[in-house]
Chains A and B, each alone.
Chain A
Amino acid sequence: AQRVTQPEKLLSVFKGAPVELKCNYSYSGSPELFWYVQYSRQRLQLLLRHISRESIKGFTADLNKGETSFHLKKPFAQEEDSAMYYCALSGLGSNYKLTFGKGTLLTVNP
């Protein structure tokens, strides 16, 4: 069975501080990993995916297959980063349905 674990429900940092949102997964095979973000009163949207190896809004995430992790990092948090972040997994050939973690609410304080 596939599972995504985000151990922190809440994370609070000060502006300019580094931030790391943790994500661990369980999947027997090669998954695709994603980070989705939901800003206040906005719809859920894709932030980044491991396959693209991109940096979006200063965020990066590296897939570590040995540790089965896909942590999201940003060196200097901004107030506008405050949002709900969801880590998600889809299996190859699984119709791309997403299994989500329960989310981490990030608050960046001024």
Chain B
Amino acid sequence: GAGVSQSPSNKVTEKGKDVELRCDPISGHTALYWYRQSLGQGLEFLIYFQGNSAPDKSGLPSDRFSAERTGGSVSTLTIQRTQQEDSAVYLCASRIDRGNEQFFGPGTRLTVL
């Protein structure tokens, strides 16, 4: 079946603009995660969804970052007033309810000029 998909694959934006990144998890996966992969910082957890609710937002670096999930499926990560330090690859992963393996999407490479 189809794996986790993310769009866009690349996004270049100007400092101060808002961006939206989209994740389509594997069908039936109730758990969804966002991570950020940046030079020097490695892979960092941002937020976790169980269904449509986000019980763990502890990794969001500032209030410019927000995310939502609708219909227990698609999730959108929004970054407002982007800064150059937001440049990174944003990864989405999903997991079936009774499993512990996360399946990763290909990522969105965000470049803030």
- Contact (A49, B100) CB under 8 Å given A44-B91, A95-B31, A97-B56: yes
- Residue pairs across A and B with CB atoms within 8 Å: the count is 50
Residues of chain B contacted by A49 (CB below 8 angstroms):
100-101
Do most interface residues of chain B lie in helix, strand or loop, or is the interface mixed? strand
Q: Give 1 or 0 for each of A74-110: 1 = CB within 8 Å of chain B CB.
A: 0000000000001010100001111111110000000
Partner of A44, one of B31, B95, B104: B104
Tell me if A32 counts as interface (CB < 8 A to partner B).
yes
- Assess whether A68 is interfacial by the CB under 8 Å rule: no
* Inter-subunit contact B105/A46 (CB<8 Å): no
Q: In the bound complex, how far is the Cα of B3 from the Cα of A32, in angstroms?
A: 24
Whether A102 contacts B31 by the Cβ 8 Å rule is no
Asked whether any CB of chain A lies closer than 8 Å to the CB of B71, the reply is: no
